[in-house]
Amino acid sequence: MNTITAAITAVGAYVPDFVLSNKVLETMVETNDEWITTRTGIKERRILKDADKGTSFLAIKAAQDLIQKANIDPLEIDMIIMATATADMPVASTGVYVATEIGATNAFAYDLQAACSSFLYGMSTAAAYIQSGRYKKVLLIGADKMSSIVDYTDRATCIIFGDGAGAVLFEPNYEGLGLQDEYLRSDGVGRDFLKITAGGSLVPTTIETVQNRQHNIIQDGKTVFKYAVTNMADASELIVKRNNLTNEDVNWLVPHQANKRIIDATASRMNLEDSKVLMNIEKYGNTTSATLPLVLNDFEHLFKKGDNIIFAAFGGGFTWGSIYLKWAYDKK
């Protein structure tokens, strides 16, 4: 078979040491463990406490973990896609800095931002570069320091988000493994329901925007939940039907870890048994661009060569979609 497909050949991850549990949040904002767990499925999240470290620190650690485990030379990496919603700084690309810091000096790099769908969109982009035949090793990193944009007096958002990073390496495959199909969508109606108001060209930073906390993430939880449940489930169901897969054919669902109820609704639409639905939301919360690779890293030991995996995500903007991928290796 001479057709090139793009397969994931290695994974890596990193989460900070500090654990922000629901019990600790009870001392910070009016909430409680039962309320958070019942509505989100989250028990704790990791927080990068170092004030002098940003998303790049998380990304570098995850990339180094992958490089060490896969025993690859960073100089062989052709390109790096940095999926993130919390870049270190405006203008200067976080991915470019990460590439240099990990020694991937032969690679070109850039950032990709699609909120919680950033990594899913990045999978599509990385696969396209591989399938073009021009590149052999594409490193896709999903990383976010969500604590840098969360208002810890806002119980609607501070209970949800955590910090973390994950990375995957895409390489050419000639056995028909790797990315098989994708269904990606977006709708600008979401702009008003999940956003950071200030700091961009529309509302530049002023003393007033800082005083009014306009640089923190805000969301209309009920609206976002409604759109997420419908669209993530629809996309996953469509990708399965379009590829003539039954619930028996699907080995694993790797969903964005935003809310356990959204994940359950997606799995229900696909008629999947619980054992096929991979979740670590209780440990990390919503790490935005990092959720999908963190799931891959945590459950890599379960995957077998040829397994059918369905990825699904939903993010602000709105952005969403589903990807069908055949796993390419057995973990040694």
**Strands 252-255 and 308-315, bridge-based pairing:** parallel
Tell me whether residue 215 is one of the annotated catalytic residues: no
Tell me whether residue 116 is one of the annotated catalytic residues: yes
Whole-angstrom distance, CA of residue 43 vs CA of residue 6: 35
Tell me whether residue 256 is one of the annotated catalytic residues: yes
Q: Quick one: which of 7, 15, 16, 10 has its CA closest to 294? A: 15
The one catalytic residue among 22, 158, 231, 256: 256
By the 8 A CB rule, do 281 and 43 touch?
Answer: no
**Strands 163-173 and 5-14, bridge-based pairing:** antiparallel
Whole-angstrom distance, CA of residue 304 vs CA of residue 248: 15
The one catalytic residue among 116, 158, 216, 297: 116
Place of tokens 């990375």: 167
The one catalytic residue among 216, 259, 286, 297: 286
Cα dist from 64 to 11, 18, 83, 100, whole Å: 10, 20, 16, 12
Q: What positions carry a catalytic annotation?
A: 116, 256, 286
